[in-house]
Chains A and B, each alone.
Chain A
Amino acid sequence: MANKSSLLSLTSYRIEVALRILLAVAGGYVCTVATIIFLVKALPLTRSDAVVISALLSFTIFTLAVIWVFASRNLRRAALGLLLPTVIFGLLGFIFPILGGAQ
């Protein structure tokens, strides 16, 4: 019995780790992309400067996202924490040019 339940918990542990890795890599990437696209459009700089600054920040954002995913108490929190900025920045990045922001 004990053996079986520990095997079960090992499997669920492995599944959770796999899910977190997936979330960190894919979710973190998408979140970073949404944020930097927003930054390029929103930064009140010349086009090339905005691109450079956003590019430089990209890995910082990605790192923070990965740390977040692995530090969160549970998967739901981790996913929510990535989803929120992704959606917000994604929308803003889409709306910004229409509102006549930078560029």
Chain B
Amino acid sequence: MKNGFRQSMAWLHTWTGLVVGWILFFVFMLGNLGRFDTEIDQWMRPELPIETASLSQSIQAAQQRLQTQASQAETWTIWPATNRDYPNLRIRWEGALNAEGNRKRTDETLDAATAQPVIARETGGGQLLYKMHYALHYIPRGVSDWLIGICSFFMLVAIVSGVITHKKIFADFFTFRPSKGQRSWMDLHVVLATLTLPFFLMITYSGLVFFVFTLFPQVLSAGYGSEKHARETFNNELNALTFIEERSGTPASLTNLSGLIDTVQSRWGADQIRLIEVTNPNDSSARVRVLHLLDSSSRSSQELTFDGVSGHLLDESNGESTSARGFYDHILGLHRGLFGDLTLRWLYFFSGVIGAIIIGSGLVLWVVKRRPKQLKQNKPDFGHRLVEGLNVGTIAGLPIAIAAYFWANRLVPVELTGRQNWEVNSLFVVWLLALMYPLIRPINRAWIEEFWLVSAAFLLLPLVNALTTERNFIHSIATQDSVFLSMDIAALITGVLFAITATNLSRRQQAATGQATVSAKGKRKDINTLNPVEAA
């Protein structure tokens, strides 16, 4: 097709990267925010109290609530506040498998003192941001799984072909040459991609693994036939769930769950419980599984199994498993990164930000590379204009949209029914507007103005928060409320960084136009006014 292996790979890299670049930018941005989904959740529900109840009090309250609400459910799950991902006590109950092979689930956040659901504003919170990075929004899961799966696969091809293309990995390992137009964009793209290659490859491949049974259902049917419960059977076999007991039908009252804590803590120490799962509550076959906090990159951990009626310890598992399953668990666990302390989460976050910058710079590079040729024509190609516009609307526009989501959380009236949808709608409406904005403005102005908008939106966010809640900056300092404080600071830093970007961009652009008026000849001027990004 093209001459030479490297040239073909360069072609493949360029085009696979381009077609899915914008969706992947979205995926990376929201996935990154998902590293702090719990903190964002807390920020977006400012009414929620900070949990103070003891562990046994929480578990008692959860059991009481589940008993009154769902005494005949198939499973109960309790997440005490010791679980980092749910800072408040949370419960779930699930019914039996229905005809479509699904279970009906109900989730509640509880106040441990009263055993009643807490009342907080209806919001998608950080969980929704996180969820959108793999499930998108407005479209059914069946479609989005395929979409994201395919896009991620393109990404994988782009990474591999990119590595093949870039022959001087070690020679250029440390090299970045700023203010040199296309050269600089290339350096930026290459240096960042080289440095974060292990992370980038890991996050892409492991992300794909989540979709493997959607994209390749044959692998499952090759082993398990095409029966309806193949997936369920496979999961049970994989997870070696030996304790799945059929409901016996003999009623038996469930043991007091908080009574099991002593046994658990004597083995693990205090506050190490991730979740408690009860199968067949109020039946003589009841079992209680207690899971340890995640402490390795595997997504499974130590667990204890108790008899749900007598409360006797039946089994103790150290979370190790067969090598194949262990490998699988580690791959999925590495992607989620839920095991990490705060340092690791930040490492993940910044690696992901770099990932977004790599994608963004790749998209810009496509435009920068083709611009000289476009300028020779009277009118740039439609495709060229489209890519330029999508770049502005996504790279600068998506951050505005995310800010809009946070703004909406504070500004949409708390009583409004369906307000959760309005939060999400505002994200997508603002994004759409940001995508259309380059249609009415010259592309270089659109970049700068949208960057200023991001900056303003984030700089004002702490103010909006202070005006709409009682948990303002000063209050946060006084009460050592680290979540609200961090959100305020993070918003300010984001705002400042985008302001710096916008100023740099307009300064370079002014310098470029100044130069152009000096040299004063038509084409030269065109190049410069069209090239603010190239100059960066």
> When A and B assemble into the complex, do they touch directly, with CB atoms less than 8 Å apart?
yes
* Per-residue B-contact encoding for A52-67, CB less than 8 Å = 1, 0 else: 1111101100110011
Among B12, B224, B324, contact of A67 (Cβ-Cβ < 8 Å): B12
- How many of chain B's residues have a CB under 8 angstroms from any CB in A? 35
Q: What are the residues of chain B within 8 A of A51 when measuring CB–CB?
A: 219-220, 222-224, 234, 238
Whether B212 and A56, one on each chain, are in contact in the complex, defined by CB atoms closer than 8 angstroms, is: yes
Whether B209 and A70, one on each chain, are in contact in the complex, defined by CB atoms closer than 8 angstroms, is: no
The majority secondary structure among interface residues of chain A is helix
Q: What are the residues of chain B within 8 A of A47 when measuring CB–CB?
A: 223-224, 237
Given that A49-B322, A53-B324 are known contacts, is A58 also in contact with B216, CB under 8 Å in the complex?
yes
Within 8 A of A (CB), among B223-248: 223-224, 234, 237-238
Q: What are the residues of chain A within 8 A of B138 when measuring CB–CB?
A: none
Q: What are the residues of chain A within 8 A of B12 when measuring CB–CB?
A: 66-67, 70
Q: Is B331 an interface residue (CB 8 A)?
A: yes
Among B160, B234, B327, contact of A56 (Cβ-Cβ < 8 Å): B327
The majority secondary structure among interface residues of chain B is helix
Whether A52 and B1, one on each chain, are in contact in the complex, defined by CB atoms closer than 8 angstroms, is: no
Q: Determine, out of B3-11, B25-33, B80-88, B111-119, the stretch whose residues face the partner at the interface.
A: B3-11
Q: Is B422 an interface residue (CB 8 A)?
A: no
Nearest Cβ in chain B — how far from A45, in angstroms? Answer: 6
Distance between Cα atoms of A49 and B213 in the complex (Å): 14
Q: Is B328 an interface residue (CB 8 A)?
A: yes
Distance between Cα atoms of A58 and B328 in the complex (Å): 13
Distance between Cα atoms of A63 and B9 in the complex (Å): 12
Whether B234 and A71, one on each chain, are in contact in the complex, defined by CB atoms closer than 8 angstroms, is: no
Among A32, A37, A46, contact of B222 (Cβ-Cβ < 8 Å): A37
Nearest Cβ in chain B — how far from A58, in angstroms? Answer: 5
Distance between Cα atoms of A41 and B220 in the complex (Å): 11
* Per-residue A-contact encoding for B37-67, CB less than 8 Å = 1, 0 else: 0000000000000000000000000000000
Q: Is A36 an interface residue (CB 8 A)?
A: yes
Distance between Cα atoms of A45 and B323 in the complex (Å): 11
Whether A59 and B222, one on each chain, are in contact in the complex, defined by CB atoms closer than 8 angstroms, is: no
Q: Which residues of A come within 8 Å of B, CB atoms?
A: 16-17, 20, 32-33, 36-37, 40-41, 45-56, 58-59, 62-63, 66-67, 70-71, 93, 103
Task: Enumerate 11 A-B pairs (CB-CB under 8 Å) in ascending A order.
Answer: A48-B325, A50-B324, A51-B219, A52-B238, A52-B325, A55-B216, A55-B220, A59-B208, A59-B212, A71-B5, A71-B9
